[in-house]
Structure 1
Amino acid sequence: MTTLHCTYRDHAIRAHVIEHPGIPTPWAGGCQITTPEGQTTRRLVLPLNYRFLAELDSAQQASIAHGKWLVDQRLDGGRELH
């Protein structure tokens, strides 16, 4: 499986999707972010209402989008990455 990743505003974002076989929406979205200083977050999950998706590609895309939003919150809103 190929892991989707990107660089956004000098932060490396990697989709970190986990499979839960046997349920209709088996892909749990999440991401890890590496700051320009080299610090990497733990797995940051998608909000509860959007956490589980039916397709791997959709889960990876949503995970990257969430990571970009978190970077924006850090840089523009002064929030810490948790």
Structure 2
Amino acid sequence: MSTMQCTHRDHTIIADVVEHPGIPIPWAGGCRITAPDGRTTRRLPLPLEQAFLAELESAQRASIAHGKWLVDQCLDQGVALFDTAKA
């Protein structure tokens, strides 16, 4: 299986899709994002109501689109993309 990835606003977004065999819509979408400084997020799943898809390619495309949206939210709205250390 090939992994879909793209670069958006200097961030690398990699689709991280997980298969759950035996259910009608077995592909759980998610992504990992690497910032220009080298930091990488944990796996960021799609929102629950859109998390599972029937086809691998659809799950990968949705995961990439979600990653782009998350990068835009981080850069434009200041929404934290990375976990912050707790003191």
TM-score normalized by structure 2? 0.93
Larger radius of gyration: 2
Runs of 4+ deviating beyond 3 Å: none
2:13 is aligned to 13
Task: Quote the Cα distance in structure 1 between the aligned partners of 2:80 and 2:40.
Answer: 12
| TM-score, scaled to structure 1 | 0.99
Structure 2 partner of 1:42: 42
Measure how far apart 1:25 and its partner are. Answer: 0.3
Counterpart Cα distance in 2 of 1:48 and 1:80: 20
Q: Deviations over 1:32-59 (max 9, x none)?
A: 0000110000000000000000000000
How much has 1:70 moved relative to structure 2?
A: 0.1
Q: CA separation in 1, counterparts of 2:51 and 2:65?
A: 13
Q: For 1:81 and 1:63, how far apart are their aligned partners in 2?
A: 15
Aligned length in residues: 82
The match for 1:58 is 58
1:57-76 to structure 2, matched below 5 A, reads 57-76=57-76
* TM-align CA RMSD: 0.6
Give, in angstroms, the shift of residue 67 of structure 1: 0.0
Gaps (5+ residues) in structure 1? none
- The 5 Å alignment of 1:17-36 reads 17-36=17-36
Q: Which amino acid aligns with 1:69?
A: W
Unaligned runs of 5+ in 2: 83-87
